[in-house]
Protein backbone atom coordinates (compact mmCIF):
# COMPACT_ATOMS: atom_id res chain seq x y z
CA UNK A 1 0.00 0.00 0.00
CA UNK A 2 2.90 2.36 0.78
CA UNK A 3 6.02 2.07 -1.34
CA UNK A 4 8.99 4.39 -1.20
CA UNK A 5 11.57 3.71 -3.84
CA UNK A 6 15.01 5.29 -3.76
CA UNK A 7 13.74 8.49 -2.18
CA UNK A 8 16.27 11.30 -1.93
CA UNK A 9 15.77 14.51 -0.04
CA UNK A 10 18.17 17.41 0.32
CA UNK A 11 17.88 20.38 2.66
CA UNK A 12 19.60 23.71 2.47
CA UNK A 13 21.23 24.67 5.73
CA UNK A 14 22.87 28.03 5.29
CA UNK A 15 25.19 27.56 2.34
CA UNK A 16 25.47 23.83 2.78
CA UNK A 17 23.19 21.32 1.11
CA UNK A 18 22.65 18.30 3.27
CA UNK A 19 21.22 14.99 2.14
CA UNK A 20 18.57 13.93 4.65
CA UNK A 21 17.19 10.86 2.84
CA UNK A 22 19.45 8.79 0.61
CA UNK A 23 17.85 6.15 -1.61
CA UNK A 24 15.35 5.48 1.15
CA UNK A 25 13.08 2.47 0.58
CA UNK A 26 9.95 1.23 2.33
CA UNK A 27 7.22 -1.31 1.68
CA UNK A 28 4.26 -1.38 4.00
CA UNK A 29 1.04 -3.34 3.47
CA UNK A 30 -2.36 -1.80 4.12
CA UNK A 31 -3.54 -2.23 7.69
CA UNK A 32 -0.03 -2.64 9.12
CA UNK A 33 1.34 -0.67 12.05
CA UNK A 34 4.90 0.56 11.81
CA UNK A 35 7.08 2.39 14.33
CA UNK A 36 9.94 4.54 13.05
CA UNK A 37 12.78 5.34 15.42
CA UNK A 38 16.02 7.24 14.94
CA UNK A 39 18.17 10.00 16.34
CA UNK A 40 17.03 13.57 16.52
CA UNK A 41 17.66 15.16 13.14
CA UNK A 42 17.69 11.82 11.31
CA UNK A 43 14.77 12.87 9.10
CA UNK A 44 11.79 11.11 10.67
CA UNK A 45 9.43 14.09 10.52
CA UNK A 46 10.64 14.83 7.00
CA UNK A 47 9.76 11.28 5.97
CA UNK A 48 6.20 11.61 7.31
CA UNK A 49 5.78 14.97 5.56
CA UNK A 50 6.83 13.41 2.25
CA UNK A 51 4.30 10.59 2.63
CA UNK A 52 1.64 13.17 3.55
CA UNK A 53 2.38 15.13 0.38
CA UNK A 54 3.48 18.21 2.34
CA UNK A 55 6.90 18.12 0.71
CA UNK A 56 8.23 16.61 -2.49
CA UNK A 57 11.30 14.40 -2.72
CA UNK A 58 14.29 15.38 -4.87
CA UNK A 59 14.45 11.90 -6.31
CA UNK A 60 12.73 8.51 -6.25
CA UNK A 61 9.02 7.76 -5.96
CA UNK A 62 6.37 7.58 -3.26
CA UNK A 63 3.27 5.49 -3.88
CA UNK A 64 0.29 5.32 -1.57
CA UNK A 65 -2.66 3.17 -2.60
CA UNK A 66 -1.49 3.21 -6.18
CA UNK A 67 -1.16 7.02 -6.32
CA UNK A 68 2.18 8.64 -7.01
CA UNK A 69 2.15 11.14 -4.13
CA UNK A 70 5.26 12.86 -5.46
CA UNK A 71 3.44 13.60 -8.71
CA UNK A 72 0.07 14.84 -7.44
CA UNK A 73 -0.94 18.25 -8.78
CA UNK A 74 -1.80 21.21 -6.56
CA UNK A 75 -5.48 20.44 -7.28
CA UNK A 76 -5.16 16.77 -6.31
CA UNK A 77 -3.15 17.29 -3.12
CA UNK A 78 -5.96 18.58 -0.85
CA UNK A 79 -8.12 15.57 -1.69
CA UNK A 80 -5.25 13.21 -1.03
CA UNK A 81 -4.50 14.87 2.33
CA UNK A 82 -8.09 14.50 3.45
CA UNK A 83 -7.60 10.75 3.46
CA UNK A 84 -4.67 11.04 5.84
CA UNK A 85 -4.69 11.61 9.58
CA UNK A 86 -1.57 13.51 10.53
CA UNK A 87 -0.47 14.17 14.09
CA UNK A 88 2.20 16.85 13.82
CA UNK A 89 5.15 16.90 16.18
CA UNK A 90 4.25 20.50 17.10
CA UNK A 91 0.49 19.71 17.09
CA UNK A 92 -0.42 22.53 14.65
CA UNK A 93 -3.86 23.06 16.16
CA UNK A 94 -5.76 25.99 14.70
CA UNK A 95 -5.48 28.69 17.40
CA UNK A 96 -8.71 30.51 16.53
CA UNK A 97 -10.84 27.35 16.78
CA UNK A 98 -12.05 25.64 19.95
CA UNK A 99 -11.06 22.08 20.82
CA UNK A 100 -14.41 20.95 19.43
CA UNK A 101 -13.94 22.74 16.11
CA UNK A 102 -10.34 21.56 15.78
CA UNK A 103 -11.38 17.94 16.31
CA UNK A 104 -14.40 18.11 14.02
CA UNK A 105 -12.69 20.11 11.26
CA UNK A 106 -11.81 17.20 8.96
CA UNK A 107 -14.88 15.30 10.04
CA UNK A 108 -17.04 18.11 8.64
CA UNK A 109 -14.94 18.50 5.49
CA UNK A 110 -15.52 14.83 4.78
CA UNK A 111 -19.25 15.26 5.53
CA UNK A 112 -19.31 12.29 7.88
CA UNK A 113 -22.19 13.50 10.06
CA UNK A 114 -22.73 12.02 13.51
CA UNK A 115 -20.23 13.79 15.77
CA UNK A 116 -21.62 11.67 18.66
CA UNK A 117 -19.48 8.81 17.49
CA UNK A 118 -16.36 11.02 17.75
CA UNK A 119 -17.35 11.84 21.35
CA UNK A 120 -17.71 8.19 22.30
CA UNK A 121 -14.68 6.76 20.52
CA UNK A 122 -12.16 9.59 20.92
CA UNK A 123 -13.09 12.62 22.97
CA UNK A 124 -14.20 10.84 26.13
CA UNK A 125 -11.53 8.09 26.08
CA UNK A 126 -8.79 10.66 25.47
CA UNK A 127 -10.04 12.70 28.44
CA UNK A 128 -10.95 15.75 26.36
CA UNK A 129 -14.65 16.17 27.15
CA UNK A 130 -14.12 18.90 29.76
CA UNK A 131 -11.86 20.84 27.38
CA UNK A 132 -14.37 20.83 24.54
CA UNK A 133 -15.04 24.60 24.49
CA UNK A 134 -11.52 25.81 25.27
CA UNK A 135 -8.95 27.19 22.81
CA UNK A 136 -5.54 25.57 22.18
CA UNK A 137 -3.62 28.27 24.09
CA UNK A 138 -5.63 27.38 27.19
CA UNK A 139 -4.34 23.80 27.15
CA UNK A 140 -1.19 22.11 28.40
CA UNK A 141 1.20 20.51 25.90
CA UNK A 142 -0.11 17.03 26.66
CA UNK A 143 -3.71 18.17 26.28
CA UNK A 144 -2.92 19.76 22.92
CA UNK A 145 -1.24 16.55 21.87
CA UNK A 146 -4.34 14.52 22.72
CA UNK A 147 -6.53 17.00 20.79
CA UNK A 148 -4.18 16.59 17.81
CA UNK A 149 -4.61 12.82 18.02
CA UNK A 150 -8.41 13.07 18.18
CA UNK A 151 -8.36 15.44 15.20
CA UNK A 152 -6.20 13.07 13.16
CA UNK A 153 -8.46 10.08 13.78
CA UNK A 154 -11.92 11.68 13.79
CA UNK A 155 -12.52 11.35 10.05
CA UNK A 156 -11.43 7.68 9.87
CA UNK A 157 -8.57 8.17 7.42
CA UNK A 158 -7.19 4.96 5.89
CA UNK A 159 -3.66 6.17 6.61
CA UNK A 160 -2.53 7.67 9.92
CA UNK A 161 0.87 9.35 10.30
CA UNK A 162 1.78 10.25 13.87
CA UNK A 163 4.91 12.19 14.80
CA UNK A 164 5.87 11.40 18.40
CA UNK A 165 2.22 11.42 19.51
CA UNK A 166 3.13 10.56 23.10
CA UNK A 167 6.20 12.81 23.29
CA UNK A 168 4.57 15.27 25.69
CA UNK A 169 2.74 12.76 27.86
CA UNK A 170 3.74 11.05 31.10
CA UNK A 171 4.27 7.31 30.84
CA UNK A 172 0.84 6.30 32.19
CA UNK A 173 -1.06 8.73 29.95
CA UNK A 174 1.17 7.74 27.02
CA UNK A 175 0.29 4.07 27.55
CA UNK A 176 -3.42 4.88 27.62
CA UNK A 177 -3.17 7.00 24.50
CA UNK A 178 -1.28 4.22 22.68
CA UNK A 179 -3.91 1.70 23.73
CA UNK A 180 -6.69 3.90 22.29
CA UNK A 181 -4.64 4.68 19.20
CA UNK A 182 -3.79 1.10 18.30
CA UNK A 183 -7.21 -0.29 19.20
CA UNK A 184 -9.03 2.25 17.02
CA UNK A 185 -6.67 1.95 14.11
CA UNK A 186 -6.95 -1.87 14.16
CA UNK A 187 -10.74 -1.69 14.38
CA UNK A 188 -10.79 0.60 11.33
CA UNK A 189 -8.07 -1.39 9.55
CA UNK A 190 -5.99 1.77 9.25
CA UNK A 191 -2.37 1.79 8.20
CA UNK A 192 -0.37 3.49 10.93
CA UNK A 193 3.13 4.94 10.79
CA UNK A 194 4.24 6.29 14.12
CA UNK A 195 7.48 8.07 14.93
CA UNK A 196 8.73 7.63 18.46
CA UNK A 197 11.85 7.87 20.61
CA UNK A 198 10.37 5.37 23.05
CA UNK A 199 11.14 1.64 22.64
CA UNK A 200 8.21 1.07 24.98
CA UNK A 201 5.83 2.76 22.54
CA UNK A 202 7.42 1.11 19.49
CA UNK A 203 6.98 -2.39 20.84
CA UNK A 204 3.19 -1.95 20.89
CA UNK A 205 3.25 -1.85 17.08
CA UNK A 206 3.87 -4.78 14.77
CA UNK A 207 7.13 -3.66 13.26
CA UNK A 208 9.94 -1.20 13.95
CA UNK A 209 12.36 0.37 11.49
CA UNK A 210 15.28 2.65 12.31
CA UNK A 211 16.12 5.69 10.20
CA UNK A 212 19.87 5.92 9.98
CA UNK A 213 22.02 7.79 7.48
CA UNK A 214 19.02 8.50 5.30
CA UNK A 215 17.76 4.94 5.08
CA UNK A 216 15.35 2.68 6.96
CA UNK A 217 16.91 -0.39 8.59
CA UNK A 218 15.44 -3.29 10.58
Ligand X SMILES: Nc1ncnc2c1ncn2[C@@H]1O[C@H](COP(=O)(O)OP(=O)(O)OP(=O)(O)O)[C@@H](O)[C@H]1O
Q: CB under 6 A: which stretch of 36-44, 104-112, 123-131, 142-150 binds ligand X?
A: 36-44
Choose the binding region for Mg ion from 14-22, 38-46, 55-63, 121-129 (rule: CB under 5 A).
38-46
Sole binder of ligand X in the list 1, 5, 10, 11 (CB under 6 A): 11
Position among 35, 44, 168, 205 found at the interface with ligand X (CB under 6 A) = 44
Residue 208 C-beta: closest distance to ligand X, Å: 15
Q: How far apart are CA 215 and CA 209, in angstroms?
A: 10
85-114 footprint of ligand X as x/- string (CB under 6 A): ----x-------------------------
Q: Does 196 bind Mg ion (CB under 5 A)?
A: no
Three-state secondary-structure class, residue 28: strand
- The least distance separating ligand X from the CB of residue 4, rounded to whole angstroms, comes to 15
Q: What is the DSSP string of 177-218?
A: HHHHHHHHHHHTT-EEEEE-S-HHHHTTSSEEEEEETTEEE-
Judged by CB, which is closer to Mg ion: 42, or 84?
A: 42
Q: Using an 8 Å Cβ cutoff, are 82 and 119 in contact?
A: no
For 166, counting Cβ atoms within 10 Å of its Cβ (0-12 exposed, 13-18 middle, 19+ buried), the class is buried
22 binds ligand X (CB under 6 A): no
Q: Can residue 13 be called a binding residue for ligand X (CB under 6 A)?
A: yes
Burial of residue 133, with CB atoms counted within 10 A of its CB: 0-12 exposed, 13-18 middle, 19 or more buried: exposed
CA separation (Å) from 28 to 55, 63, 182? Answer: 20, 11, 17
Scanning 44-52, 77-85, 103-111, 119-127 for contacts with ligand X by CB under 6 A, the matching segment is: 44-52
By CB under 5 A, residue 45 contacts Mg ion: yes
Q: Does 46 interact with ligand X (rule: CB under 6 A)?
A: yes
| Nearest 10 degrees: Cα torsion 122, 127, 132, 134 | -130
Comparing CB distances to ligand X, the nearer of 18 and 108 is 18
- Determine if residue 134 is left, alpha or beta; phi over 0 gives left, psi from -120 to 50 gives alpha, anything else beta: beta
Binding site for Mg ion (CB under 5 A): 45, 89
Site residues (CB under 6 A) for ligand X?
11, 13, 20, 38, 40-46, 89
Amino acid sequence: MITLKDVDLFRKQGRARRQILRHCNLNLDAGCQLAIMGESGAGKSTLLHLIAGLERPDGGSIQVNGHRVDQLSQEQLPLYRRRIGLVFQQFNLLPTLTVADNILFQHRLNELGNPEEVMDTLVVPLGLASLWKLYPDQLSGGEQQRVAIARALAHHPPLVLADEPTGNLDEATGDEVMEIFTRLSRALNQTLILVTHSPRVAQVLGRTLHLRQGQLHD
